Amino acid sequence: MDVAVIQMEPRILERDENLETMARLLGAVAHADIAVLPELCPCGYAFSSQDEVDAMAEDAYTGPTSSLLQDLARENEQVIACGYAERKGDAVYNAQLLVGPGGVMASYRKVHLFNTEKSFFSPGNAFYVSQPYKGIRMGLMVCFDWFFPESMRTLMLMGADIVLHSANLVLPYCPDAMVTRCLENRVYAVTSNRTGYERGLHFIGTSQITAPDGTIMRRLSREKEEAATACVDPCLAHDKHVTARNDILQDRAVGAYRL
What is the phi-psi region of residue 119: left when phi exceeds 0, alpha when psi lies from -120 to 50, beta otherwise?
A: alpha
Closest to 185 (Cα-Cα) out of 165, 166, 209, 160: 160
Show the site string, 15-54: x = touches ligand ACM by CB under 6 A, - = not: ------------------------x---------------
Q: Which is nearer to ligand ACM, 44 or 234 (CB)?
A: 44
Our finding on whether 144 is near ligand ACM (CB under 6 A) is yes
Our finding on whether 143 is near ligand ACM (CB under 6 A) is yes
Residue 143 annotated among the catalytic residues of the structure: yes
Q: How far apart are CA 174 and CA 144, in angstroms?
A: 9
Q: Which is nearer to ligand ACM, 138 or 167 (CB)?
A: 167
Least Cβ distance, residue 39 to ligand ACM (angstroms): 6
CB 169 within 8 A of CB 203: yes
Q: Contacting ligand ACM (CB under 6 A), which of 114, 121, 128, 133?
A: 114
| Binders of ligand ACM in range 170-189 (CB under 6 A) | 170
Amino acid at 113: L
Our finding on whether 152 is near ligand ACM (CB under 6 A) is no
DSSP string, 29-54: TTT-SEEE--TTTTT-S---SHHHHH
The one catalytic residue in 143, 174, 182, 225 is: 143
Least Cβ distance, residue 144 to ligand ACM (angstroms): 3
Q: Which is nearer to ligand ACM, 3 or 169 (CB)?
A: 169
Q: How far is CA 190 from CA 23, 211, 232, 253, in A?
A: 19, 9, 11, 29
CB 68 within 8 A of CB 19: yes
Beta strands per DSSP E along 147-234: 162-166, 188-192, 195-198, 201-204, 208-210, 216-219, 226-231
Q: Contacting ligand ACM (CB under 6 A), which of 168, 185, 193, 206?
A: 168
In the complex, the residues that contact ligand ACM under the rule CB under 6 A are 39, 114, 143-144, 168-170
Catalytic residues: 39, 110, 143
